[in-house]
Structure 1
Amino acid sequence: METWSLLETFSNFDIKKNEPLSAHTNTRVGGPADYAFWPTSLDELRQVVRYAKANEIPVTVLGNASNLIIGDQGLTGVVIFLTKLNQITVQGTELRAEAGAMIIDLAQFAQTKALSGLEWAAGIPGSVGGAVYMNAGAYGGQVDGWLKTAEVLTTDGEIKTLTNDDLDFSYRYSSVQTTGDILIAASFSLQNGNATEILAQMEDFNERRASRQPLEFPSCGSVFKRPTGFFAGRLIMDAGLQGYMVGGAQVSIKHAGFIVNRGQASGADYIAVIKHVQAVVRDKFDVNLEPEVRILGE
């Protein structure tokens, strides 16, 4: 029997009960959250995190909900969306962004200040917090190459500043994935550049992305990590899996590394396609495809 009283305790906060997560994920799949919360300040976030810990309420933190799949049963406890914590500031060649800011917006802001280093992020649909959490990258660039520090809120409600080394970055990994800390802001050390040249580079990357990726359908982005010595998309294509479909979830015909929602897909459809792709690629090529996408509430 649920005994939480989030709505009553924080009646002036933006909290919704039984909120369908499919309304907020890029895949357009996902069951309901017991509670969904959009903090408008760090103090609000800290209050709810401390309350959740004291009452043993599970907490899931999401940014733009772009690189994840949520199961049809939804998520227990409180799901925190950081999208309203999105301020970006600049001092010299250093940019600081709150975790809910979109990484695309950060790249565009950097361009307006003639700061180079984030061109690769121009088309990534995630948040700054999600990008740091996953050590996101594209076109030869990656978060760990430019991040100076990250600010986190611990499960005890304390704020810590972590250095690049503290985050123990590796391919699609940061230490925050294991500590349970909540990313609240990140600072990037960039380089002075030419705004026109930076814009041209960003536009080139975005044109390449549009020509190669199935941006016309909802998706979670690249589904699998790159296996050592291989490319996931190439393996899936060579296995003859492009177009493979369960329910409304389909291995993209345009880019085999993507699974798109062709209409009314469920979380179970997505998970079934992922498992099938893994099994076929393992059988044909003896390669284990590890999901890059987060799968929650399976």
Structure 2
Amino acid sequence: MKPAPFDYVAPTDLSDAVTALAERPETSRVLAGGQSLVLEMHYRRERPALLVDINNVRGLDAITVEGDALRVGALARHRAFETPSVAPGALGRLLSRVSPFIAHPPVRARGTMAGSLAWANPASEWCATAVALDAAIELTGPVGSRTVAGGDFFLGPFHTARQPDEILTSVRLPLLPGPGPGPGAEADAVGVGFCEQHRTHASFAQVAVVAVLTVRDSVITGARLGLAGAADRPVCAHEAERHLVGREAAPAVFARAAELTVAAAAPLPEPHAGVEYKRHAVGVLIRRALAQAREDREINGER
């Protein structure tokens, strides 16, 4: 099929883009990478009256370190995160582990992290990452800009806190601390892990897990676990996180964290992955991602 008729504008200034969207927000859509939106338009499941293309808006493709966070503009493509140098330390390593799991190279060359968050597919790797890191999501509308925490942004399948007249303009991801600079310095170090179960290399995740561990002298001092495919939206495994803190980074501890996560999981069934299958996958991937984070910390956190 082909898209239904629609109007199209491609402003070069953010204020013009916001103004265009505000004229008829309920029937307009924002186009960045378009890897999900355009397909839905072809199937006519999406029928926008107006498409606001922000690809010509200056400055929205920037990725910069600002203070203690990495600021990712709305037009930063998936492929920008394929190398660890995109961000200092553990955050760069985490982003470079996640990005290869997103579809295939042509999609990564065009699709955007911000667009993935705005689309809010419950299986999205970036959505699980945003929740795990409690990213700050910037929304710009006619009355100005506001910021929503990653944990509050996702409201359900393809449903977010973004209002129809707002554009998701940037995402701020906190930089993950590394080891201290020398003897006697702070000994905490961060390890990161990411694991995913999918049918084919380019398929959406059935279940995905983002793990971030802060460890001092083999004892976990901080833990973040973000999950895709374990509920109707990306979620954090808070009970498992609380269990991990104060305990040794050991397989038995990881196994108990996995049990707690499985008990709280409420995955949605899909044609090739029923509820029980996905719950089992959650437990397996939690253990693997935590083991990966421990290994990452040992390799990169010790000097």
What's the TM-score once normalised by structure 2's chain length?
A: 0.48
The structure with the greater share of residues assigned to helix is 2
Could you say which structure has the greater relative contact order, defined with CA pairs below 8 angstroms and 6 or more residues apart? 1
What's the TM-score once normalised by structure 1's chain length?
A: 0.49
